[in-house]
Amino acid sequence: MSKHQSCLVLNAGSSSLKFSVFRQQAAAGNLNAILTGQISGIGGAARFEAKDADRRQLADHSWDDSEPMPREKLLRFALHWIHEHLVDDEIVAAGHRVVHGGKEISAPLRIDAAAIDALEALVPLAPLHQPHNVAAIRMLAEIYPELSQVACFDTAFHATQPWQARTFALPKELSDEGVCKYGFHGLSYEYVTHSLLAARPELANGRIAICHLGNGSSLCAVQAGESVDTSMSFSALDGVPMGTRCGALDPGVLLYLMREKQMGLEEIEDLLYRRSGLLGVSGISNDMKVLQETDDPDARKAVELFCHRVAREVAAMAAAMEGIDALVFTAGIGENSPAIREMISRRLGWLGVQVDAARNAGRQFEISAADSRIPVFVVPTNEELMIAKHTLAVLNPGVGHA
Ligand code: AMP
């Protein structure tokens, strides 16, 4: 019996590597996730976990941190496990989530030596993430030289933004050398846009504000199916507060910290990326669910500040599009927290947003009240599926994947 053709999707972070395997159902052209998992705790006490399509645990293997396992050995372990486990499948391609495509790369990229060099050259734009993405591509190329690989970018969906959205009010030379707004979460916005427009084709030319609210959060203004503005900019720090990231901050604060507190680069980086956001304001947790389950006044403040800033940013997206025809919530918080959706929507009543309490609590696809001027939707995101679709489309041009 011939094997199923499957696509491996990798999302390599600083201390984790998430993976999924999508199987092509040949006749229908569908892609189904048959396996998901991750290696966490890389550099310390590493752990390998894998689940099947029904989220049943298939593997859970831990290493102690007395002698941390090198990243490459962990990847080899995961690939070997996948190979042994998926006896009916042949992995024919690998798609990678890559954070930065810079100014030039606006579409998924087939990996070869020149492509790896191009991704490497973008490390200065995303020093905390890009090196891990590139390392995973290199390692896979070494382990499976015959495997076709494709890089899919968080920035690419935003390449359609007009110059006004992309440009900082800095001297022209800096803009010309790439100090400008890029935007992130693009694979999520692309997937959510496709899903929404498939269900509501009448919005194809509409102005849609999408709130991707997860551990990392941002918003995107999508007009006629294309990104025209977004809240993250040069780095994934800008925009709304996140789990541990600060969101938009007066640059004067950085000057103050450097001048008055003699804080150096690494200390500031740690403060802005890992000690701010929901964690910094609450002093309790970066996890929205945890904060919503406590009565602590600082936890409440963190939640309120988050909702206030997201609502403000929705209005900014509406201004960028000169109007708004739909509001969408997605990602961990956006998909799972009716209370947060309600608190944000309440602040947008003046814009014509009204959420129906029962639909919101029931997490229906459309959660707006019957008389809401703006329809409001909850659309689950699936960045991994978007990557698998892109990967197979790059390798098999002309073949559609539902
Ligand atoms: P993500 O990065 O998209 O996986 O989202 C992670 C965030 O979603 C964390 O802050 C979680 O606390 C949050 N989250 C997941 N489920 C819920 C829930 N039921 N209520 C509130 N927040 C949630």
The CATH number for 57's domain is 3.30.420.40
Spell out the per-residue pLDDT of the chain, length 402, in tens: 788 899 999 999 989 999 999 998 866 568 999 999 999 999 999 999 999 999 999 999 999 888 888 999 999 999 999 999 999 999 999 999 999 999 999 999 999 999 999 999 999 999 999 999 999 999 999 999 999 999 999 999 999 999 999 999 999 999 999 999 999 999 999 999 999 999 999 999 999 999 999 999 999 999 999 999 999 999 999 999 999 999 999 999 999 999 999 999 999 999 999 999 999 999 999 999 999 999 999 999 999 999 999 999 999 999 999 999 999 999 999 999 999 999 999 999 999 999 999 999 999 999 999 999 999 999 999 999 999 999 999 998 766 555
Q: Decide if 112 is catalytic.
A: no
Q: Do residues 297 and 376 share a domain?
A: yes
What is the whole-number distance in angstroms between the Cα of residue 253 and the centre of ligand 1? 29
pLDDT at 398: 67
**Ligand 1 within 6 A of 333 CB?**
yes
Q: Do residues 132 and 263 share a domain?
A: no
- Asked, for residue 119, whether it belongs to a domain, the answer is yes
- Asked, for residue 306, whether it belongs to a domain, the answer is yes
Q: Do residues 142 and 221 share a domain?
A: no
Which stretches of 70-202 are DSSP H helices? 71-85, 113-121, 130-143, 163-166, 172-176, 186-199
Containing structural domain, residue 341 = 201-383
- Asked, for residue 16, whether it belongs to a domain, the answer is yes
Under 8 Å between Cβ of 391 and 340: no
Q: Which of 150, 118, 124 is nearest to 137 (CA)?
A: 150
**Ligand 1 within 6 A of 291 CB?**
no
**Ligand 1 within 6 A of 337 CB?**
yes
Mutate to test the pocket of ligand 1, among 188, 333, 360 (most ligand atoms within 8 A of CB): 333
pLDDT at 67: 83
SS3 36: strand
- Asked, for residue 181, whether it belongs to a domain, the answer is no
Mutate to test the pocket of ligand 1, among 18, 192, 245, 288 (most ligand atoms within 8 A of CB): 288
**Which whole-number Å values give the CA distances from 276 to 73, 279, 310, in the listed order?**
33, 6, 16
Final residue before a domain boundary, out of 118, 153, 188: 153
Burial 92-131 (b: 16+ CB within 10 A, else e): bbbbbbbbbbbeebbebbebeeebbebbeebeebbeebbe
Q: Do residues 323 and 211 share a domain?
A: yes
Q: Do residues 71 and 130 share a domain?
A: yes
Cβ partners under 8 Å of residue 222, min gap 6: 189, 193, 207, 208, 209, 210, 228
- Asked, for residue 312, whether it belongs to a domain, the answer is yes
Under 8 Å between Cβ of 220 and 317: yes
Q: Do residues 227 and 343 share a domain?
A: yes
- For tokens 């690419």, what's the residue? 156
Q: Do residues 134 and 214 share a domain?
A: no
Q: Do residues 96 and 240 share a domain?
A: no
Compute the distance between CA of residue 226 and CA of residue 229 in angstroms, rounded to an integer. Answer: 9
Q: Do residues 356 and 280 share a domain?
A: yes
pLDDT at 25: 80
Q: Do residues 252 and 378 share a domain?
A: yes
Q: Do residues 116 and 221 share a domain?
A: no
Selected catalytic residue, list 89, 154, 229, 325 = 154
**Ligand 1 within 6 A of 321 CB?**
no
**Ligand 1 within 6 A of 303 CB?**
no
Under 8 Å between Cβ of 294 and 260: no
Which residue has a Cα nearest atom 8 of ligand 1? 332
Mutate to test the pocket of ligand 1, among 279, 289, 344, 381 (most ligand atoms within 8 A of CB): 289
- Asked, for residue 136, whether it belongs to a domain, the answer is yes
Instruction: Please write the tens of the pLDDT for every residue from 15-30.
Output: 999 999 999 886 656 8
* Ligand 1 atom index nearest CA of 243: 10
Q: Do residues 238 and 339 share a domain?
A: yes
- Asked, for residue 133, whether it belongs to a domain, the answer is yes
Q: Which of 138, 141, 150, 144 is nearest to 98 (CA)?
A: 150
**Ligand 1 within 6 A of 211 CB?**
no
- Asked, for residue 83, whether it belongs to a domain, the answer is yes
Which residue has a Cα nearest atom 19 of ligand 1? 336
**Ligand 1 within 6 A of 188 CB?**
no
Under 8 Å between Cβ of 14 and 274: no
pLDDT at 28: 57
Domain count, the chain: 2
**Ligand 1 within 6 A of 289 CB?**
yes
pLDDT at 364: 97
Give the DSSP H/E element, type plus range, for residue 320: helix 297-321
Bridging pattern class, strands 148-153 and 109-110: antiparallel
* Ligand 1 atom index nearest CA of 216: 2
